[in-house]
Amino acid sequence: MTALFNHTIIAAKDRAASAAFYREALEAREAPSWGPFTNISLDGDVLLQFAEPPVEIQMQHYAFLVTEEHFDRAVARFRAQGIAYWADPQLTREGETNTEHGGCGVYFRDPAGHGLELTTRPYLQSDESRARP
């Protein structure tokens, strides 16, 4: 077995606001928080921890694999809430989604300016994942 992803810390200007934004966009669960972290949980026991660093935040990119139904709900929420989204990582096709890699994809920004991506198909698939129904 290769290593499994367990958690990451995401720099935030307001950790509670960022955690709430991700929780809604990813349909994630609340998780116990401690110390300088506000936490949410994804399937597979993956923990996203939000913290407010004492330094300037550098933009990062985080991509999440979601179902087509989740994708449609997220894009509908973006439209309803006036959250800008793009079909491309260069952010030139605003208000559009893409159909690259055999699925749907969209790019958007979190409250701290990180680049987020929702996609319905992984870019790479192992032989094991191709065999699953």
pTM: 0.90
In a domain, 105, yes or no: yes
pLDDT category at 130 given cuts 50, 70, 90 is low
In a domain, 93, yes or no: yes
In a domain, 1, yes or no: no
User: Domain range holding 50?
Assistant: 7-131
In a domain, 12, yes or no: yes
Lookup result for tokens 């995401």: 10
For residue 129, pLDDT over 80 is answered with: no
Q: Which amino acid is at 100?
A: E
How many other CB atoms are found less than 10 A from the CB of residue 25? 20
Backbone angles phi, psi at 20, to 5 degrees: -65, -40
Tokens of 79: 């439209």
Give the total number of structural domains in the chain: 1
How many whole angstroms separate alpha carbon 78 and alpha carbon 95?
Answer: 9
In a domain, 66, yes or no: yes
Per-residue pLDDT tens digits for 12-37:
999 999 999 999 999 999 999 999 99
In a domain, 2, yes or no: no
User: What is the residue-wise DSSP string for 34-74?
Assistant: BTTBEEEEEGGGEEEEEE--SSPPPP-EEEEE--HHHHHHH
Taking residues 99-108, report their average pLDDT: 93
How many whole angstroms separate alpha carbon 7 and alpha carbon 24?
Answer: 18
In a domain, 26, yes or no: yes
pLDDT at residue 123, rounded to an integer: 87
- Domain of 125, CATH number, reads 3.10.180.10
